[in-house]
Structure 1
Amino acid sequence: MKTKIFKIVLPMAVVALGLAGAANTSAMDKSGKTVAIMGYKHISNPNSCVAVQECSNTGNFNCTAPDGSQLFAKPASTCLTPLKRDVQ
Protein backbone atom coordinates (compact mmCIF):
# COMPACT_ATOMS: atom_id res chain seq x y z
CA MET A 1 0.00 0.00 0.00
CA LYS A 2 2.84 2.40 0.86
CA THR A 3 4.60 1.80 -2.44
CA LYS A 4 1.40 2.53 -4.39
CA ILE A 5 1.04 5.88 -2.65
CA PHE A 6 4.66 6.76 -3.32
CA LYS A 7 4.40 5.68 -6.97
CA ILE A 8 1.34 7.88 -7.54
CA VAL A 9 1.64 10.83 -5.13
CA LEU A 10 5.38 11.51 -5.30
CA PRO A 11 5.50 12.13 -9.09
CA MET A 12 2.42 14.36 -8.85
CA ALA A 13 4.05 16.35 -6.04
CA VAL A 14 7.24 16.77 -8.07
CA VAL A 15 5.26 18.00 -11.10
CA ALA A 16 3.27 20.44 -8.93
CA LEU A 17 6.48 21.79 -7.42
CA GLY A 18 8.01 22.21 -10.89
CA LEU A 19 4.96 24.08 -12.19
CA ALA A 20 4.94 26.38 -9.15
CA GLY A 21 8.64 27.13 -9.66
CA ALA A 22 8.14 27.87 -13.36
CA ALA A 23 5.23 30.21 -12.63
CA ASN A 24 7.29 32.03 -10.02
CA THR A 25 10.23 32.42 -12.40
CA SER A 26 8.13 33.89 -15.21
CA ALA A 27 6.48 36.29 -12.75
CA MET A 28 9.95 37.54 -11.80
CA ASP A 29 10.69 38.43 -15.44
CA LYS A 30 7.70 40.78 -15.57
CA SER A 31 8.72 42.87 -12.57
CA GLY A 32 8.52 46.12 -14.54
CA LYS A 33 12.03 47.31 -13.71
CA THR A 34 13.70 49.31 -16.43
CA VAL A 35 17.38 49.05 -17.20
CA ALA A 36 19.36 52.20 -17.87
CA ILE A 37 20.83 52.45 -21.37
CA MET A 38 23.87 54.61 -22.01
CA GLY A 39 23.05 57.53 -24.33
CA TYR A 40 25.59 58.56 -26.97
CA LYS A 41 25.90 61.88 -28.82
CA HIS A 42 27.03 62.31 -32.46
CA ILE A 43 30.39 64.01 -32.76
CA SER A 44 32.65 64.61 -35.74
CA ASN A 45 35.76 62.48 -35.40
CA PRO A 46 36.74 58.88 -36.26
CA ASN A 47 34.69 57.58 -33.32
CA SER A 48 31.30 58.93 -34.31
CA CYS A 49 29.74 58.70 -30.83
CA VAL A 50 30.68 59.67 -27.30
CA ALA A 51 28.94 58.47 -24.11
CA VAL A 52 27.07 61.26 -22.32
CA GLN A 53 24.51 59.94 -19.81
CA GLU A 54 22.15 57.06 -19.06
CA CYS A 55 18.57 57.02 -20.39
CA SER A 56 15.69 54.79 -19.28
CA ASN A 57 14.39 54.35 -22.85
CA THR A 58 10.78 54.34 -21.64
CA GLY A 59 8.36 57.21 -21.83
CA ASN A 60 7.48 59.88 -24.35
CA PHE A 61 10.24 62.48 -23.93
CA ASN A 62 13.49 62.55 -25.92
CA CYS A 63 16.58 61.76 -23.90
CA THR A 64 18.87 64.72 -24.42
CA ALA A 65 22.35 65.80 -23.38
CA PRO A 66 22.80 68.86 -21.13
CA ASP A 67 23.41 70.95 -24.28
CA GLY A 68 20.02 69.86 -25.70
CA SER A 69 21.22 67.45 -28.39
CA GLN A 70 19.41 64.13 -28.90
CA LEU A 71 21.05 61.01 -27.42
CA PHE A 72 21.17 57.69 -29.26
CA ALA A 73 21.72 53.99 -28.50
CA LYS A 74 25.02 52.63 -29.76
CA PRO A 75 24.70 49.43 -31.78
CA ALA A 76 28.10 48.48 -33.18
CA SER A 77 29.83 51.69 -34.32
CA THR A 78 26.90 53.95 -35.27
CA CYS A 79 24.42 55.93 -33.21
CA LEU A 80 21.09 55.59 -35.02
CA THR A 81 18.38 54.69 -32.48
CA PRO A 82 17.06 57.76 -30.58
CA LEU A 83 16.49 57.16 -26.86
CA LYS A 84 13.50 58.22 -24.75
CA ARG A 85 12.97 58.93 -21.04
CA ASP A 86 10.10 59.20 -18.56
CA VAL A 87 10.52 62.81 -17.40
CA GLN A 88 11.35 65.92 -19.36
Structure 2
Amino acid sequence: MSGFELLDHISQMDSEVRPPVFVVTGKLLNDSERAKLEGKVARILPKNGISPRKLVASIGAFGDHADPEKNARNRDESPSILTTGTGSRP
Protein backbone atom coordinates (compact mmCIF):
# COMPACT_ATOMS: atom_id res chain seq x y z
CA MET A 1 0.00 0.00 0.00
CA SER A 2 1.39 3.40 -0.93
CA GLY A 3 1.29 6.41 1.37
CA PHE A 4 -1.35 7.98 -0.88
CA GLU A 5 -3.52 4.83 -0.62
CA LEU A 6 -3.18 4.84 3.16
CA LEU A 7 -4.11 8.51 3.25
CA ASP A 8 -7.20 7.84 1.10
CA HIS A 9 -8.23 5.14 3.58
CA ILE A 10 -7.71 7.42 6.59
CA SER A 11 -9.55 10.33 4.94
CA GLN A 12 -12.65 8.13 4.54
CA MET A 13 -12.84 7.58 8.30
CA ASP A 14 -15.51 9.40 10.30
CA SER A 15 -14.17 12.78 11.41
CA GLU A 16 -14.79 11.88 15.06
CA VAL A 17 -12.17 9.09 14.92
CA ARG A 18 -9.90 10.26 12.07
CA PRO A 19 -6.42 11.08 13.40
CA PRO A 20 -4.60 14.15 12.12
CA VAL A 21 -1.92 13.15 9.62
CA PHE A 22 1.40 14.94 9.26
CA VAL A 23 3.40 14.17 6.12
CA VAL A 24 7.15 14.40 6.68
CA THR A 25 8.93 14.15 3.35
CA GLY A 26 12.34 14.76 1.87
CA LYS A 27 10.83 14.89 -1.60
CA LEU A 28 9.91 18.07 -3.39
CA LEU A 29 6.23 17.48 -4.12
CA ASN A 30 4.86 18.37 -7.53
CA ASP A 31 1.48 20.03 -8.05
CA SER A 32 -0.27 16.69 -8.61
CA GLU A 33 1.10 15.21 -5.37
CA ARG A 34 0.19 18.34 -3.40
CA ALA A 35 -3.35 18.18 -4.85
CA LYS A 36 -3.67 14.55 -3.65
CA LEU A 37 -2.72 15.65 -0.13
CA GLU A 38 -4.81 18.81 0.03
CA GLY A 39 -7.59 18.58 2.58
CA LYS A 40 -6.37 15.17 3.79
CA VAL A 41 -3.36 16.15 5.89
CA ALA A 42 -2.92 18.47 8.83
CA ARG A 43 0.48 19.64 7.67
CA ILE A 44 3.30 18.85 5.25
CA LEU A 45 6.73 19.15 6.84
CA PRO A 46 10.14 18.96 5.15
CA LYS A 47 12.28 16.04 6.32
CA ASN A 48 15.46 17.81 5.33
CA GLY A 49 16.77 19.87 8.22
CA ILE A 50 13.87 19.38 10.62
CA SER A 51 15.04 18.45 14.07
CA PRO A 52 13.00 16.21 16.34
CA ARG A 53 12.40 19.29 18.52
CA LYS A 54 10.96 21.27 15.56
CA LEU A 55 8.83 18.29 14.54
CA VAL A 56 7.33 18.02 18.03
CA ALA A 57 6.79 21.80 18.11
CA SER A 58 4.95 21.69 14.76
CA ILE A 59 2.69 18.90 15.94
CA GLY A 60 2.11 20.66 19.27
CA ALA A 61 1.23 23.91 17.49
CA PHE A 62 -1.39 22.02 15.50
CA GLY A 63 -2.93 20.74 18.73
CA ASP A 64 -3.25 24.29 20.03
CA HIS A 65 -5.65 25.07 17.16
CA ALA A 66 -7.62 21.83 17.17
CA ASP A 67 -11.15 21.38 18.51
CA PRO A 68 -10.93 21.39 22.35
CA GLU A 69 -13.86 18.96 22.72
CA LYS A 70 -12.30 16.50 20.29
CA ASN A 71 -8.96 16.87 22.10
CA ALA A 72 -10.63 15.96 25.39
CA ARG A 73 -12.12 12.80 23.85
CA ASN A 74 -8.88 11.77 22.11
CA ARG A 75 -6.38 12.90 24.74
CA ASP A 76 -4.48 9.59 24.71
CA GLU A 77 -4.25 9.34 20.93
CA SER A 78 -1.23 10.51 18.97
CA PRO A 79 -1.32 12.04 15.50
CA SER A 80 -0.33 9.81 12.62
CA ILE A 81 2.99 10.56 10.98
CA LEU A 82 3.30 9.19 7.46
CA THR A 83 6.81 8.91 6.08
CA THR A 84 7.73 7.52 2.70
CA GLY A 85 10.85 6.85 0.70
CA THR A 86 14.15 5.10 1.23
CA GLY A 87 15.46 5.20 4.74
CA SER A 88 12.39 6.87 6.14
CA ARG A 89 11.28 6.13 9.64
CA PRO A 90 8.40 7.31 11.81
Q: Per the shorter chain, which TM-score range? A: under 0.3
TM-score by length of 2: 0.20
TM-score by length of 1: 0.20
The structure where helix makes up a greater share of residues is 2
Higher relative contact order (CA 8 A, sep 6+): 2
The structure where strand makes up a greater share of residues is 1
